[in-house]
Amino acid sequence: MQVELKIKHKGLILVAVPLLFELVFLAVLSGLLRQADYKTWQEMHSKTVVYESSALSRLFHDAGIAMGGYALTKSPLFRERFDSIVSSIPREFKHLQKLVGRNSSQKGSLKRLETYTNSGLHLLSTARDAIEIGGEGVSRVRSLYSEMKGVSKNISTELDNLTAESRKIEEDGPNARKQSDQMVRVFLAIGVLFNIGLAFVLSYFFSNGITKRLFILTDNANRLARAEQLSDPIKGTDEIAHLDAVFHNMADALAEASRKERAIVENAADVICSIDADNKFTKISPACKKLWGYEPSELIGTRYLNLVISDDVEETAIATRALRKGQHTASFETRTYRKDRSIVTVLWSAFWSPTENSMFCVAHDITERKLIEEALKESERRVRSIIENTLVSLIVIDRFGMIELVNPQTEKSFGYPAEAVLDQNIGILFPQFMSAEDNFIEELFAQASGRIADLEMMRADGELFPVEFSLSQLETNEGTRFIANILDVSERQEFEKLKREFVSTVSHELRTPLTSIRGSLTLLNTGMLGNLNEKGERMVSIAERNTIRLINLINDILDVERLASGRVEMQFDNTEVSSIIERSVESVRSFADQHSVKLEVGDLRPLTRVYADGDRIIQVVINLLSNAVKFSPKDSTVTLNIKEETEWVELQVIDRGRGIPEKYKALVFERFQQVEVSDAKRKGGTGLGLAICKGIIEQHKGSIGVESEEGKGSTFWFRLPKAPQGEAVMA
Amino acid sequence: MKILIIDDEEDIRYVCGSSLELIGGVDVFEADGGHQGINLAASEKPDAILLDMIMPDMDGAATITALKKNPETASIPVIFLTTRTLSLDFARMKSLGAAGWIVKPFDPMTITDQIKEIINK
């Protein structure tokens, strides 16, 4: 099993193992030295013990000699000598006892020696007393001396026993010291050798575990820098392995980033390329095929300026030079040729790398954008031209009414130069404006926002003139603004007035003589003024009929003109449909009878109401019914149906006449349109009836139409909004 | 029944008068302008006055105003006989105190009935 350690653990081992070994080595060495010291001390001690034993033995010997001398001479010198020796014997014994007292094996010998010593001392004391007595005592001394010899011998024997070990130690001392020294030397040699071995082992351990790994790591770092494949990951869990894993992750990430970058470059819609100092493509993305029609291989090695059209070459070259001289990044537009010689406008975003002596570019096709920009510019020119040439005064104001912009027509209409009104309140162009503080502007916004208000404005010279004034909101970068559209309608109003007067005059001037003619002819036709002959009656009838036709034409023309100009004032009210139908049918009934046509009314809900001008709707229904009768074959039926829905009511006039050809359906509601030119003559009518009907229905916010099949009849219909429920009803 | 026609157009007065007399059977008085009409109205006390709107010197508006101011003629219904057909015109006639209006050209056969209908409304 391989133990995986971190570097710090390995470092710890590197320090701890030799240290531990040194400690053990020192401890053992210290033990050996202490052992040698002990042996030396033991040798010295043994020598002392032997010496002291000899001394004790010598004392007894000397005491015996002194006692003999004293016994022989009675000399006080021997006595003193004797006393002195005897007195030192216990001291000497105690000293010896102290020296060997620690050794338990010698305690028995020591005890016996003590007994023999005390016996010896007693014998010596007894002998001294015997000598002091003299006489027989001397013979006693002799026997005591013999006893003394025995005791002395015992003491010598015990001393020999006691000092036998010491003597052995003393004898063995040099050998033991030598042995000990040798052991120390051997141990030192082993220790040094082991230390060297350990150093080699640990070095190998580190070399194998760290240095080699560091080498791999360095190599991987270099490979990473060169974007080369890395060696296999270093095994283990230590910091180096971890760092190596980081390098591998970095390498993977870089490879991934590189793959993505390559994918981006290869799939980018824009061309990505590098261009060297000679302006030649060194690398180029596949998008060049789409942009210029060339494969990358066709462009690499060619000068990019070859693509640029001759008019733009100089400008492009200047931009490139500026880039290289220190600008570093730049964007410039050039027109370039495609392979098929069509022109494509390109926006170059370029970066100059001095270290690589290359230009890195992104070329973006802006042909479409340029076209749009051109179109926008053209559109702007057009709009500007319209604004500047329109006959409508346009004034841009803020929400407080302060004027920010005026068009030339404003200057013309109001007689102010632009600078005189800019930053002024638009209120100065109105007669009733007093100050910006009053609520005039607020009311103006309420009145004219999103709709046309008929107002009176004031020119610089104080002249008042009528305008159609509307405000439309405009969102700008600077916030909400409003455009005041001001149309000077003084001329139009004047024209309208003249037209009204003309119509009125014509109407009056035509009606007045027609009144006399019609009245005269009618009265003549009654026979009350005298009888005419048959031809005369016929002539008068023709004259009367055509006068009525002329009157109807004038009435229709007036109606159409008024409907077209929106001057017909409708009297809107909630009106019952049944009432409209009854009155209309009643009006047309005799006409229908004359044509032998039957009028039929479908089911009718009495309470159905419409919000309408009853008289005008009756005019429409009469017109439709009259038309239906006119174009129906004899003995046929004209049906008036009512269809009711939630929001509206539809009235249908159905005839069984000749129908309307498809191509005329859209035209029948136009003025002076009849299916056949002869209809006006054969059927009467002005060709304005349906146009009037359409005008009336549209004024009611309704709709009108026809469905028809040639040869089978027609259905004219119109729809009107239903009246709100619960309102008063006008019959 | 007496009806006063005030119109500057002689032809109209004649045709209208004839229609009223022959078809309607009414007594007709004629005046060629406002001043004469006011005097005739005061003296003859007609049942209704047919008044033209557009006349020289004194127009229909001035004439009706004068008629309405005079207590003797104030109650006589005044019917405008007019070529004007705008709602605006009718509104003005109403505001002047007209009982109604008949648009020219009128139908001689029905004009008497129209007058009666207006008076009786």
pLDDT value of residue A684: 59
Of all residues in chain A, the one with the smallest CA distance to B106 is A515
Q: Which residue has the higher pLDDT, A327 or A492?
A: A492
Give the tens place of pLDDT for each residue, A426-447: 999 998 887 766 788 888 899 8
Peptide bond into A661 cis (omega under 30): no
In a domain, A554, yes or no: no
A472 and A599, same domain (yes or no)? no
pLDDT confidence tier of residue A527, bands split at 50, 70 and 90: confident
pLDDT value of residue A64: 80
In a domain, A121, yes or no: yes
pLDDT value of residue A511: 82
Is A526 within 8 Å of B22 when comparing Cβ atoms?
Answer: yes
Tokens 């999103």 belong to A450
- Choose one of A308, A339, A372: the last residue of a domain: A372
Q: Round to the nearest angstrom and report the end-to-end CA distance of chain B.
A: 17
Identify all chain A residues contacting B88, using CB atoms and an 8 Å cutoff. 569
B109 vs A: CB within 8 A: yes
pLDDT confidence tier of residue B6, bands split at 50, 70 and 90: very high
Q: Name the domain count of chain A.
A: 5
A67 and A198, same domain (yes or no)? yes
The dihedral through the CA atoms of A203, A204, A207, A213 has a sign that is negative
Is B18 within 8 Å of A507 when comparing Cβ atoms?
Answer: no
- Choose one of A456, A488, A520: the last residue of a domain: A488
Identify all chain A residues contacting B109, using CB atoms and an 8 Å cutoff. 522, 526
pLDDT value of residue A677: 52
Could you give the CA distance from residue A143 to residue A313 in angstroms, rounded to a whole number?
A: 154
pLDDT value of residue A675: 58
A555 vs B: CB within 8 A: yes
Provide the angle, in degrees to the nearest 10, between the axes of the packed helices A107-133 and A136-206: 160
With beta carbons less than 8 A apart as the criterion, state whether B71 and B100 touch. no
Nearest to A515 among B22, B23, B105 (CB): B105
pLDDT confidence tier of residue A685, bands split at 50, 70 and 90: low
pLDDT value of residue A4: 66
Compute the C-alpha angle A548/A550/A555, nearest 5°.
95
What's the token pair of residue B118? 């207006």
C-alpha distance from A582 to closest chain B C-alpha (Å): 20
Identify all chain B residues contacting A552, using CB atoms and an 8 Å cutoff. none
B92 vs A: CB within 8 A: no
Domains of chain B in start order, with CATH, are 2-114 (3.40.50.2300)
The residue-averaged pLDDT of B79-86 equals: 85
Q: Which residue has the higher pLDDT, A301 or A260?
A: A301
A318 and A340, same domain (yes or no)? yes
Is the predicted pLDDT of residue A95 greater than 90, yes or no?
Answer: no
pLDDT value of residue A463: 92
pLDDT confidence tier of residue A1, bands split at 50, 70 and 90: very low
Could you give the CA distance from residue B3 to residue B78 in angstroms, rounded to a whole number?
A: 10
Is the predicted pLDDT of residue A313 greater than 60, yes or no?
Answer: yes
In a domain, A383, yes or no: no
In a domain, A589, yes or no: yes
A72 and A194, same domain (yes or no)? yes
By three-state DSSP, how is residue A276 classified? strand
Q: What is the mean pLDDT of chain A?
A: 84
A30 and A162, same domain (yes or no)? yes
A568 vs B: CB within 8 A: yes
User: B 24-53 residues with CB below 8 A of A?
Assistant: none
B94 vs A: CB within 8 A: no
A595 and A685, same domain (yes or no)? yes
With beta carbons less than 8 A apart as the criterion, state whether A335 and A309 touch. yes
A351 and A414, same domain (yes or no)? no
Range of the domain at A679: 570-721
Give the tens place of pLDDT for each residue, A21-51: 888 888 888 888 888 788 788 778 777 877 8
pLDDT value of residue A729: 45
A574 and A683, same domain (yes or no)? yes
Nearest to A515 among B15, B85, B86 (CB): B15
pLDDT value of residue B73: 95
Q: Which residue has the higher pLDDT, A580 or A549?
A: A580
In a domain, A556, yes or no: no
pLDDT value of residue B96: 94
pLDDT value of residue A145: 75
Least confidently predicted of A141-145, A429-433, A575-579:
A141-145
Is the predicted pLDDT of residue A727 greater than 50, yes or no?
Answer: no
Phi and psi for A152 in degrees, rounded to 5? -60, -40
Is the predicted pLDDT of residue B86 greater than 80, yes or no?
Answer: no
What's the token pair of residue A188? 């030192």
Rounded percentage of chain A residues whose pLDDT exceeds 70 = 93
Question: A669 CB contacts (<8 Å, ≥6 apart)?
Answer: A690, A691, A693, A694, A704
In a domain, A420, yes or no: yes
pLDDT value of residue A168: 77
Is the predicted pLDDT of residue B20 greater than 90, yes or no?
Answer: yes
- Choose one of A313, A338, A372: the last residue of a domain: A372
Is the predicted pLDDT of residue A53 greater than 60, yes or no?
Answer: yes
Rounded percentage of chain A residues whose pLDDT exceeds 90 = 23
Nearest to B106 among A504, A515, A517 (CB): A515
pLDDT confidence tier of residue A357, bands split at 50, 70 and 90: confident
pLDDT value of residue A167: 73
A29 vs B: CB within 8 A: no
pLDDT confidence tier of residue B21, bands split at 50, 70 and 90: very high
Phi and psi for A460 in degrees, rounded to 5? -60, -35
A365 and A410, same domain (yes or no)? no
Identify all chain A residues contacting B16, using CB atoms and an 8 Å cutoff. 515, 519
Domain of residue A678, CATH code: 3.30.565.10
pLDDT confidence tier of residue A393, bands split at 50, 70 and 90: very high
Q: Of B9, B1, B100, B89, give the one whose Cα is nearest residue B50.
A: B100
pLDDT confidence tier of residue A682, bands split at 50, 70 and 90: low
A507 vs B: CB within 8 A: yes
Is B12 within 8 Å of A507 when comparing Cβ atoms?
Answer: no
Chosen from B23, B86, B90 to mutate, greatest number of chain A CBs within 10 A: B86
Is the predicted pLDDT of residue A122 greater than 90, yes or no?
Answer: no
In a domain, A179, yes or no: yes
A51 and A178, same domain (yes or no)? yes
pLDDT value of residue A405: 92
What's the token pair of residue A585? 């049918």
Chosen from B104, B110, B114 to mutate, greatest number of chain A CBs within 10 A: B104
Could you give the CA distance from residue A577 to residue A729 in angstroms, rounded to a whole number?
A: 11
Identify all chain A residues contacting B10, using CB atoms and an 8 Å cutoff. none
Of all residues in chain B, the one with the smallest CA distance to A570 is B87
Domain of residue A403, CATH code: 3.30.450.20
In a domain, A561, yes or no: no
A437 and A578, same domain (yes or no)? no
Identify all chain B residues contacting A520, using CB atoms and an 8 Å cutoff. 15
Beta bridge partners of A612: A573
A22 and A148, same domain (yes or no)? yes
The residue-averaged pLDDT of A681-700 equals: 79
B86 vs A: CB within 8 A: yes
Is the predicted pLDDT of residue A135 greater than 80, yes or no?
Answer: no
In DSSP notation, A652-701 reads EEE--SS---HHHHTTTTSTT--SSTTHHHHH---S-HHHHHHHHHHHTT
Could you give the CA distance from residue A16 to residue A8 in angstroms, rounded to a whole number?
A: 12
Q: What is the mean pLDDT of chain B?
A: 92
Domain of residue A93, CATH code: 1.20.120.1730
